[in-house]
Chains A and B, each alone.
Chain A
Amino acid sequence: MRSPRRYSAKASRGNGRGRRWLLPLFLLSPALVLLLGIVAYPIARAIWLSFHRLEILRPDLSQYVGLDNYRALLQDSVMRIALQNSAVWVAGVVLFQLLGGLVGALILNQRFPGRAVVRGLALIPWATPSVLVALMWTWMLDGNYGLINDLLVKVGILSRFQPWLAQPWSALPAVILADVWQGIPFFAVMLLAALQAIPEDLFEAARIDGASPWRVFRHVTLPLLLPTILITTMLRMIWTANYMDLIMIMTGGGPGYSSLTIPLHAYYTAYKRLDFGYGSTIAIVQVAILAGAIVFYLRQLRRNEVMVQ
Chain B
Amino acid sequence: MMRLRRLQTVVVCVLALGLVLMTGSAMESLHAQSPTVVRYWLWLDDPTEPMFDQLVKEFNATHSGVRVEYQLVPLSEYHDKLVTALAAGSGPDAGRFKDWWLGEFVKPNALEPLANSISKWSGRGDVIENLWETGKITAAGPVYMMPHQFITFYLYYRKDWFSQAGLKPPATFEEFLTAAKKLTDPAKNQYGFGLRGGAGGQDQWLAFMVAGGARLVDAQGKIIVNNADGVKANQWYIDLFRVHKVAPPSAPTDAYAQVLGAFQSDNTAMFAHHVGSSVLVTQKLGAANVGVISIPAADPKKPATMATMAGNVVFAASKQKEAAFTFISWLSETAPMDKWSGSRQGQLPVLKSVAKLPRYTENIFFKVSLDGANYAIAWPPLPGVGYVSAQAWQANMQRALLGQISSKDMLDEIAKALQR
Residue pairs across A and B with Cβ atoms less than 8 A apart, 22 shown, are A56-B83, A57-B105, A57-B108, A57-B110, A58-B108, A135-B257, A138-B258, A143-B249, A143-B250, A145-B262, A161-B249, A162-B249, A163-B251, A163-B253, A167-B249, A168-B402, A252-B253, A255-B197, A257-B399, A268-B390, A274-B104, A274-B386
CB distance A144 to B395 under 8 Å?
no
Interface hits, A156-171 → B, CB 8 Å: 160-163, 165-168, 171
Chain A residues with CB below 8 A from B262, complex form? 144-145
CB distance A144 to B198 under 8 Å?
no
- Residue picked from B250, B258, B265, most chain A C-beta under 10 Å: B250
Q: Does A142 lie at the interface of the complex (its beta carbon under 8 Å from any beta carbon of B)?
A: yes
Q: Does A204 lie at the interface of the complex (its beta carbon under 8 Å from any beta carbon of B)?
A: no
Known interface pairs A57-B110, A144-B262, A272-B391; A166-B251 also in contact (CB < 8 Å): yes
Measured in the bound complex, the distance between the Cα atoms of B191 and A144 in whole Å is 10
Select A273's contact among B105, B107, B420, beta carbons within 8 Å.
Answer: B420
Interface string of B72-111 (1 = CB under 8 A from A): 0000000110010011000000000000000011011110
CB distance A145 to B386 under 8 Å?
no
Tell me how far the C-beta of A56 lies from the nearest C-beta in chain B, rounded to whole angstroms: 5
Tell me how far the C-beta of B402 lies from the nearest C-beta in chain A, rounded to whole angstroms: 6
Measured in the bound complex, the distance between the Cα atoms of B415 and A172 in whole Å is 28
Measured in the bound complex, the distance between the Cα atoms of B400 and A255 in whole Å is 10
Q: Does B404 lie at the interface of the complex (its beta carbon under 8 Å from any beta carbon of A)?
A: yes
Q: Does A185 lie at the interface of the complex (its beta carbon under 8 Å from any beta carbon of B)?
A: no
Chain B residues with CB below 8 A from A210, complex form? none
Interface string of B235-279 (1 = CB under 8 A from A): 000000000000011111111011001100101000000000000
Known interface pairs A255-B197, A255-B398, A274-B104; A165-B250 also in contact (CB < 8 Å): yes
Chain B residues with CB below 8 A from A271, complex form? 79-80, 83
Known interface pairs A254-B253, A256-B402; A272-B387 also in contact (CB < 8 Å): yes
Q: Does A251 lie at the interface of the complex (its beta carbon under 8 Å from any beta carbon of B)?
A: yes
Q: Does A253 lie at the interface of the complex (its beta carbon under 8 Å from any beta carbon of B)?
A: yes
Using C-beta atoms within 8 Å of the partner chain, give the interface range for chain A.
20 to 34
Which residue of chain A is the closest to B105 with respect to CB atoms?
A: A57
The 10 A-B pairs of least Cβ separation, nearest first, read A143-B250, A163-B250, A255-B398, A256-B399, A272-B390, A57-B108, A58-B108, A163-B249, A166-B253, A144-B267
Q: Does B226 lie at the interface of the complex (its beta carbon under 8 Å from any beta carbon of A)?
A: no
Chain A residues with CB below 8 A from B250, complex form? 142-144, 163, 165-166
CB distance A268 to B83 under 8 Å?
no
Measured in the bound complex, the distance between the Cα atoms of B394 and A257 in whole Å is 10
Q: Does A59 lie at the interface of the complex (its beta carbon under 8 Å from any beta carbon of B)?
A: yes
Measured in the bound complex, the distance between the Cα atoms of B79 and A56 in whole Å is 13
Q: Does A55 lie at the interface of the complex (its beta carbon under 8 Å from any beta carbon of B)?
A: yes
Tell me how far the C-beta of A177 lies from the nearest C-beta in chain B, rounded to whole angstroms: 16
Known interface pairs A144-B258, A271-B80, A274-B387; A55-B253 also in contact (CB < 8 Å): no
CB distance B402 to A144 under 8 Å?
no
CB distance B391 to A252 under 8 Å?
yes
Chain A residues with CB below 8 A from B80, complex form? 271
Tell me how far the C-beta of B141 lies from the nearest C-beta in chain A, rounded to whole angstroms: 19
Tell me how far the C-beta of B413 lies from the nearest C-beta in chain A, rounded to whole angstroms: 11
Interface string of A50-70 (1 = CB under 8 A from B): 000001111101000000000
Measured in the bound complex, the distance between the Cα atoms of B108 and A202 in whole Å is 69
Select A142's contact among B83, B258, B398, beta carbons within 8 Å.
Answer: B258
Which residue of chain A is the closest to B111 with respect to CB atoms?
A: A57
Measured in the bound complex, the distance between the Cα atoms of B232 and A59 in whole Å is 42
Measured in the bound complex, the distance between the Cα atoms of B80 and A162 in whole Å is 34
Chain B residues with CB below 8 A from A253, complex form? 391, 395
Chain A residues with CB below 8 A from B253, complex form? 163, 165-166, 171, 251-252, 254-255
Interface hits, B21-35 → A, CB 8 Å: none
Chain A residues with CB below 8 A from B198, complex form? 252, 254
Q: Does B292 lie at the interface of the complex (its beta carbon under 8 Å from any beta carbon of A)?
A: no
Interface string of B389-418 (1 = CB under 8 A from A): 011001110110110100000000000000
CB distance B398 to A254 under 8 Å?
yes
Which residue of chain A is the closest to B110 with respect to CB atoms?
A: A57
Interface hits, A120-159 → B, CB 8 Å: 135, 138, 142-145
Known interface pairs A145-B261, A273-B420, A274-B83; A58-B104 also in contact (CB < 8 Å): no
